[in-house]
Amino acid sequence: MNWLLLFFHFSKFALLCFGGGYVLIPLLITAFVDEQQIMTLAEFGNLLSIAQVTPGPVGLNTATYVGYVYGGAIGSFAASLGLIFPTVVLGCSAVFSLQKWKQSFLMNGILKGTRLAAVAMILYAVTIFFGMSVFTSAIPWHELGRVFLFQCPEIPDTFRISPAGAVLCACSALLVWKTKIPTTVLILSFAAAGALLAFF
């Protein structure tokens, strides 16, 4: 497959993925594991965990990696550019129309509704991040929901509180809430703290 095809493949994925990088994953599995068979599912799983632990957006990291497996450095460049391209076009036109119709009733109503939904999305993101740091796996909401049906929830063994993660998370929340410490300093010092904890 040449790099132009890779570019268009990833443009297609970007257009299909509503709601962020995690939606991209099933699309990539279908295309590259099931259809093209350039990697196994286990390899893809490894790749995904690397994309999640390294800095940067998960979707972009995954695209760069898959591109590299496919066609080296040029491949990864083509794949990530392809992923970004539709976003730039759509995003620019969206912001443009947002500014143009700022005064209209319709736009104000739309923004009123989407702002409330956005708050809910951020709260949802908080629960996802809790599953990645304070707890050892994603929060099992479907099991916890059974409490409302007066049933005992079956918490899986992989779901435990991670003490180090909980303490670090509480520290960073307190620091950013009570002090004016820059986030760059905060993130770097927490990286050092995490590495230090791994030592013990």
Partner 1 sequence: MTEKSENTILEWTPLRRYLLLYVSFFRITALVVGGGLAMLPVIEETFVNRYKLLTKEELLDMVALTQTIPGIIAMNSAVFVGMKAGGIPGAFSAIAGAFTPPFFIILLIASCFPRLNPDNKYLLGAFAGVRACVTGLILVSACKMCRSAIKCKFEILVVAVYFILALCKVNPALLIFSAMPLGCLYLHITLRRKAAAEASLKTKSPDSEKEA
Q: Residues 69 to 108: which contact partner 1 by CB under 8 A?
A: 69, 73, 76-77, 80, 83-84, 86-88, 90-92, 94-96, 98, 105-106, 108
**Who's near 48: CB < 8 A, 6+ residues apart?**
25, 62
* Among residues 25, 33, 38, 175, the one that binds partner 1 under rule CB under 8 A: 175
Q: Is 155 near partner 1 (CB under 8 A)? A: no
Residues that bind partner 1 (rule: CB under 8 A) add up to a total of 102
* Among residues 3, 9, 65, 78, the one that binds partner 1 under rule CB under 8 A: 65
Binding piece for partner 1, criterion CB under 8 A, among 1-9, 27-35, 124-132, 147-155: 124-132
User: Terminal CA-to-CA distance of the chain, rounded, Å?
Assistant: 47
If one counts every other C-beta atom within 10 angstroms of the C-beta of residue 184, the result is: 8
Q: Is 127 near partner 1 (CB under 8 A)? A: yes
CB of 6 to partner 1, least distance (A): 15
Q: Is 194 near partner 1 (CB under 8 A)? A: yes
Q: How far apart are CA 145 and CA 180, in angstroms?
A: 38
User: CA dihedral defined by 49, 55, 119, 177, rounded to 10 degrees?
Assistant: 120
Q: At residue 57, what is the residue type?
A: P
* Among residues 115, 152, 161, 179, the one that binds partner 1 under rule CB under 8 A: 115
Binding piece for partner 1, criterion CB under 8 A, among 1-9, 16-24, 25-33, 147-155: 16-24
Binding piece for partner 1, criterion CB under 8 A, among 1-9, 26-34, 133-141, 153-161: 133-141
Q: How far apart are CA 102 and CA 195, in angstroms?
A: 47
Q: How far apart are CA 121 and CA 115, in angstroms?
A: 10
Which residue, chain included where needed, has tokens 């703290």? 193
